[in-house]
């Protein structure tokens, strides 16, 4: 019933657009670009910003404390004293940067994940279930999520790297690493873990890590990393002051692997192992696994729920010496779709949802305004974008004549522009949700980005006749009268123009946009076959190149571009996802060569205004050449439990990172009279062999 209503709404809106949209091209003509309109502003909760030294420091305090029930375990001899579990100079989260001040212990954060937990080897690209689970589990040298709070410098915050300094010529960067920190199993953390990660994960191209050796090159010249001593590492770069690389030391890009766990399973160290075994040996429910995060998974009932308990060795404290986190427990329900997170938040059994499926906005807003609602909503800028992507690789994943013919077609601007003219972005947006929430988007840099320049957007309007004219120019004709155009020459002559369109089960609105694309592209003679994929299946399709088109929710590189600039164009073997290299080889389209030049210059440019000028040219090329087929743009909403204290003012659901990277969750606390029951109260993660530590 919902699908039928959606189609009816879409067709009505499309008819209205045709009736009132002004002059439309006749058959054989192709419409010119038109100015891209401004969006409508929704709510505004100004962010309160701080200098770094108001947010955190690293220092030895006079004394430390922990929850009383943990102290009882210490007294029983089951755990070392808290001062022995903390590093020499723990990270101190300062009260001056907190929104509601020092907290109290206890309580639980109840959340939801719609992605299967593949395993626990985050370093070999396994997902723990996203939706915050990966972020809690993995720790890195720097941290970009809370950058939105900084007013002194647009630079990542220190994390496991406590501080750094550049050499005079800018070719070297010395980083000091936190001293005396421990993994959640009590094993010492140190430079040895960082060097293992660098040498045997990132630099080993047999490991499917988030960044590879090609990601750590500048202009084809390698970046090197070496250990200076037990607490210091030294980066050497082929160009001066590549400050952007600080963002590549953040979540996913440089998740640090526990050497004592992974080295025995690595084929370069253990000849009896292999790379498949290395990737998969940490199975979903074999818990706990060592982590540097604030909570550790202790129970997982596959596809049902996950329980995470406080890490007794967590290396952060507040200004009064209370070991963090304040919350004892985090839980994740499991479900088939991200909409489930919104539903449990509305029902009161969940505490957080990123509003990223606009079809649920009206119900969620209505519920939040009721007297008994336990959550509130904040709206972010226009950064929620859904686009159609074409597989532009000339060879990766090509297995037969049909694959080759489609790739050649996708690489022809006339076809990409035909798709753009066929998509009624405004109509799709209004069909998804009435009002100012969603509108047409031409792809590229999002309007909510500090790098967006509306004057450099090339916006091809919804114009079905232009799409038909371009398809005819490409030689397509409906030769059998079924409403779908046919190939008229080559190995597919006589076949319908049919394309598989992948959508994501995990990001439900990709399916909604995909359903709209089926109708709108069918209207101009293109048959679209939807392929909903979940989690790892979608990732595998991208890695192997065995996909045709897909609806994708755009990543943060199109909003906070400097933080993930390598993802903006074909400058590494794995980026962008829609044009990956094939065994290191890639046939660039003409405009892509200039994009590579722009991205390389952008990544090394220290001046913001100069970077903005580069992105203006980049976005012109991106939209002019329909690098992605434009879809719709809207805003993320953040629904969060009212009982949570210390959530930063104006915390966005998605900017430099997602919610779990923005709210500084280890500092979130709940008043005792508002705390809800825990699933595993009074317990800590227990590892085999902990008594031997």
DSSP string, 235-269: EE-SSS--GGGGGGGSTTTTBPP-HHHHGGG-TTT
Top CATH class of 52-331+646-692 equals alpha beta
Distance CA 156, CA 142 (A): 6
Q: What average pLDDT score do residues 499-521 get?
A: 90
**Tokens matching residue 71:** 């102290």
Confirm if 595 and 278 have CB atoms less than 8 A apart.
Answer: no
Distance CA 574, CA 586 (A): 11
Burial of 479 (0-12, 13-18, 19+ CB in 10 A): middle
Other C-beta atoms lying within 10 Å of the C-beta of residue 635: 27
Distance CA 595, CA 509 (A): 29
Cα 135 → chain centroid: 10
- The pLDDT tens digits for 339-371 are 899 999 999 999 999 988 887 888 899 999 999
Where do runs of H (alpha helix) occur along 583-637? Answer: 590-604, 608-624
Does the pLDDT value for residue 458 go beyond 90? yes
Q: What is the pLDDT of residue 2?
A: 45
Q: What is the pLDDT of residue 28?
A: 63
Q: How big is the CA angle at 227 (ends 221 and 228), to the nearest 5 degrees?
A: 115
The residues, any chain, with a CB within 8 Å of residue 318's CB and separated by 6 or more, are 92, 93, 94, 95, 102, 103, 324, 667
Which residue shows structure tokens 């839980």? 331
Q: What is the pLDDT of residue 219?
A: 82
- The pLDDT tens digits for 297-333 are 999 999 999 999 999 999 999 999 999 999 999 999 9
What three-state secondary structure class fits 566? helix
DSSP string, 279-342: HHSS-TTS-----SSSEEEEEEETTTEEEEEE-TT--EEETT-BBSPS-SEEEEEE-SSTHHHH
Beta bridge partners of 140: 255
What three-state secondary structure class fits 620? helix
pLDDT-based confidence at 45, cuts 50/70/90? low
Q: What average pLDDT score do residues 23-34 get?
A: 69
**Tokens matching residue 459:** 């916006």
Of the candidates 312, 184, 197, 179, the one whose C-alpha atom is nearest the C-alpha of residue 249 is 197
What three-state secondary structure class fits 510? helix
**Tokens matching residue 593:** 């060569």
The boundaries of every CATH 3.10.105.10 domain in the chain are 2-30+382-634
Which residue shows structure tokens 């980005």? 449
Distance CA 320, CA 76 (A): 25
Q: pTM of the full predicted structure?
A: 0.77
Q: 3-state SS of 54-119? A: HHEEECCCCCCECCHHHHHHHHCCCCCCHHHHCCCCCEEECHHHCCCCCCCCCCEEEEEECCCCCC
Q: What is the pLDDT of residue 381?
A: 85
Confirm if 411 and 394 have CB atoms less than 8 A apart.
Answer: yes
Confirm if 438 and 1 have CB atoms less than 8 A apart.
Answer: no
- The pLDDT tens digits for 546-590 are 999 999 998 889 998 988 888 999 998 989 999 999 998 999 999
- Packing angle between helix 590-604 and helix 608-624, nearest 10 degrees? 160
pLDDT-based confidence at 690, cuts 50/70/90? low
Q: Which CATH superfamily is domain 2-30+382-634 in?
A: Dipeptide-binding Protein; Domain 3 (3.10.105.10)
The boundaries of every CATH 3.90.76.10 domain in the chain are 52-331+646-692
Confirm if 494 and 452 have CB atoms less than 8 A apart.
Answer: no
What three-state secondary structure class fits 418? helix
**Tokens matching residue 631:** 């879809």
Q: What is the pLDDT of residue 590?
A: 96
Q: What is the pLDDT of residue 434?
A: 83
Element (H, E) at 486: none
Q: What is the pLDDT of residue 43?
A: 61
Q: How big is the CA angle at 673 (ends 672 and 676), to the nearest 5 degrees?
A: 80
Maximum average pLDDT range among 143-147, 260-264, 655-659: 260-264
Distance CA 567, CA 572 (A): 8
- pLDDT averaged over every residue in the chain: 91
Which residue shows structure tokens 């008819």? 15
Confirm if 361 and 437 have CB atoms less than 8 A apart.
Answer: yes
Kindly list the distances between the CA atom of residue 307 and the CA atoms of 287, 513, 689, in Å, as whole numbers in the listed order: 10, 34, 22
Of the candidates 272, 142, 279, 120, the one whose C-alpha atom is nearest the C-alpha of residue 204 is 279
Distance CA 218, CA 19 (A): 52
* Percent of the chain scoring above 70 in pLDDT: 95
Residue 267 CA neighbour count, 13 Å, CB half: 12
**Tokens matching residue 233:** 């590492």
Kindly list the distances between the CA atom of residue 381 and the CA atoms of 145, 263, 370, 528, 632, in Å, as whole numbers in the listed order: 16, 43, 25, 32, 14
Q: What is the pLDDT of residue 389?
A: 97
Q: What is the pLDDT of residue 356?
A: 80
Which residue shows structure tokens 């395993």? 119
- Packing angle between helix 2-20 and helix 425-432, nearest 10 degrees? 140
Q: What is the pLDDT of residue 212?
A: 85
Distance CA 205, CA 265 (A): 16
Of the candidates 279, 289, 249, the one whose C-alpha atom is nearest the C-alpha of residue 137 is 289
> What is the Rg, in whole angstroms, of the alpha carbon atoms belonging to the chain?
26
Which residue shows structure tokens 């000091």? 176
């Amino acid at each position: 019933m919902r699908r039928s209503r959606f189609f009816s709404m879409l067709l009505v809106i499309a008819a209205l657009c045709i009736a009132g949209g002004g002059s439309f091209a006749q058959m054989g003509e192709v419409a010119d670009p038109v100015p891209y309109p401004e969006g409508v502003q929704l709510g505004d909760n100004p962010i309160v910003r701080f200098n770094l030294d108001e947010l955190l420091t690293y220092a030895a305090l006079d004394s430390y404390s922990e929850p009383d029930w943990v102290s009882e375990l210490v007294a029983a001899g089951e755990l070392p004293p808290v001062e022995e579990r903390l590093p020499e100079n723990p990270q101190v989260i300062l009260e001056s940067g907190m929104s509601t001040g020092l907290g109290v212990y206890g309580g639980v954060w109840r959340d939801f994940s719609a992605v299967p937990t593949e395993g626990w080897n985050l370093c070999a690209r396994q997902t723990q279930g996203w939706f915050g689970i990966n972020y809690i589990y993995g720790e890195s040298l720097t941290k970009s999520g809370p950058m939105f709070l900084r007013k002194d410098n647009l630079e990542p915050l220190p994390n496991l790297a406590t501080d750094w300094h550049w050499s005079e010529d800018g070719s070297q960067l010395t980083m000091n690493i936190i001293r005396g920190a421990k993994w959640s199993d009590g094993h010492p953390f140190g430079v040895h873990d960082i060097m293992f990660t660098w040498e045997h994960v990132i630099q080993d191209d047999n490991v499917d890590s988030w960044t590879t050796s090609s990601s750590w090159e500048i202009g084809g010249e390698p970046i090197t990393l070496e250990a200076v001593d037990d607490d210091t590492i030294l980066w050497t770069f082929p160009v001066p002051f590549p400050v952007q690389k600080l963002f590549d030391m953040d979540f996913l890009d440089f998740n640090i692997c526990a050497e004592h766990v992974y080295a025995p399973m690595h084929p370069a160290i253990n000849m009896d192992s292999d790379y498949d075994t290395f990737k998969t040996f940490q199975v979903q429910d074999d818990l706990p696994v060592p982590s540097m995060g604030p909570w550790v998974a202790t129970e997982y009932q596959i596809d049902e729920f996950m329980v995470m308990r406080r890490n007794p060795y967590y290396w952060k404290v507040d200004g009064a010496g209370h070991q963090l986190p304040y919350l004892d427990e985090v839980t994740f329900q499991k479900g088939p779709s991200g909409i489930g997170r919104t539903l449990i938040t509305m029902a009161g059994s969940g505490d957080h949802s990123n509003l990223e499926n606009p079809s649920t906005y009206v119900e969620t807003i209505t519920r939040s305004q009721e007297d008994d609602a336990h959550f509130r909503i904040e709206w972010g800028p226009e950064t929620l974008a859904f686009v159609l992507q074409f597989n532009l690789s000339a060879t990766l994943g090509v297995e037969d004549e049909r694959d080759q013919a489609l790739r050649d077609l996708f690489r022809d601007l006339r076809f990409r522009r035909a798709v753009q003219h066929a998509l009624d972005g405004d109509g799709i947006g209004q069909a998804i949700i009435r009002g100012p929430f969603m509108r047409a988007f031409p792809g590229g840099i999002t309007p909510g980005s500090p790098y967006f320049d509306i004057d450099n957007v090339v916006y091809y309007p919804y114009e079905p006749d232009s799409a038909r004219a371009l398809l005819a120019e490409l030689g397509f004709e409906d030769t059998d009268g079924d409403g779908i155009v046919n190939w008229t020459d080559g190995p597919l002559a006589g076949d319908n123009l049919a394309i598989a369109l992948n959508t994501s089960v995990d990001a439900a609105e990709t399916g909604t946009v995909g359903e709209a694309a089926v109708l709108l592209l069918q209207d101009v003679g293109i048959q679209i076959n939807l392929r909903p994929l979940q989690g790892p299946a979608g990732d595998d399709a991208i890695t192997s190149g065995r996909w045709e088109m897909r609806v994708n929710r755009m990543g943060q590189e199109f909003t906070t571009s400097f933080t993930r600039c390598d993802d903006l164009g074909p400058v590494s073997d794995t980026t962008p996802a829609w044009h990956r290299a094939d065994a290191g080889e890639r046939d660039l389209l003409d405009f892509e060569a200039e994009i590579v030049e722009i991205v390389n210059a952008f990544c090394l440019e220290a001046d913001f205004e100069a970077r903005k000028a580069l992105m203006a040219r980049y976005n012109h090329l991106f939209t002019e050449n329909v690098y992605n087929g434009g879809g719709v743009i809207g805003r993320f909403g953040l629904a969060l439990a009212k009982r949570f204290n210390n959530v930063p003012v104006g915390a966005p659901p998605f900017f430099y990172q997602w919610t779990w990277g923005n709210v500084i969750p280890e500092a979130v606390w709940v008043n005792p009279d508002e705390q809800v029951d825990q699933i595993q109260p009074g317990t800590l993660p227990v590892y085999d062999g902990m008594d031997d530590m």
